[in-house]
Amino acid sequence: MIDFTGLLDYAFEQRLYDSSYHGLEHWHQVEFNGLLLASKTGADITVIRLFALFHDCRRMDDAYDAEHGPRAVEFIDRCVAEKRLELDDERLEKLRKACRLHTKERQTGDITIDTCFDADRLDLGRVGIYPMEEKMATDAGRKIAHKLAQQQISVFHQREWIRNFSF
């Protein structure tokens, strides 16, 4: 069994930068978005929850940080080596790939990894960027992005709107 609370506490304590845009509130929203999307995509919930926790925990700043994904993978590997995280090989590889590529690839063809990508992209409103339907990796992500645009939901209200969204 994975101790998500313990891992969250550890990742937060070990973060490299105290971010207002990529910090704890964002991690929680990505988890929520991922679970919402998984209800439609059938993606692996364990990987999604771990992605939300790890994907931005090794950022150096809030600007463009091309290596934060690979640093997150190193941190995941450290957590595995320290026995803080035990995952089967398939899930571990999906988590590693999702973290490594989440800012570099639009889509992989793996529904769990693609759901992770969209869970993160659907929280772009926090930095004043509208999530774009054509940049989503899953049909469920495209549907939510389409409705956000169609209903002209302000970037400042997107989190609340998504939290009340139902398919």
pLDDT tens, 94-153?
A: 999 999 999 899 999 999 999 999 999 999 999 999 999 999 999 999 999 999 999 999
Is the model's pTM score more than 0.85?
yes
pLDDT tens, 61-94?
A: 777 778 888 999 999 999 999 999 999 999 999 9
Question: CA separation (Å) from 13 to 57, 58, 72?
Answer: 10, 11, 14
* Buried/exposed 122-147: b ≥16 CB within 10 Å, e otherwise: bbbbbeeeebebeebbbebbbbbbee
Q: Find out whether 79 and 85 touch, Cβ atoms under 8 Å.
A: yes
For residue 33, give the nearest of 138, 127, 103 by alpha carbon.
138
* Structural domain of 98: 4-163
pLDDT tens, 22-56?
A: 778 999 999 999 999 999 999 999 999 999 999 98
Q: What is the mean pLDDT of residues 10-18?
A: 82
**Angle, alpha carbons 80-81-82 (nearest 5°):** 90
User: Total domain count for the chain?
Assistant: 1
Q: Find out whether 118 and 137 touch, Cβ atoms under 8 Å.
A: yes
CATH number at residue 38: 1.10.3210.10
Q: Find out whether 57 and 11 touch, Cβ atoms under 8 Å.
A: yes
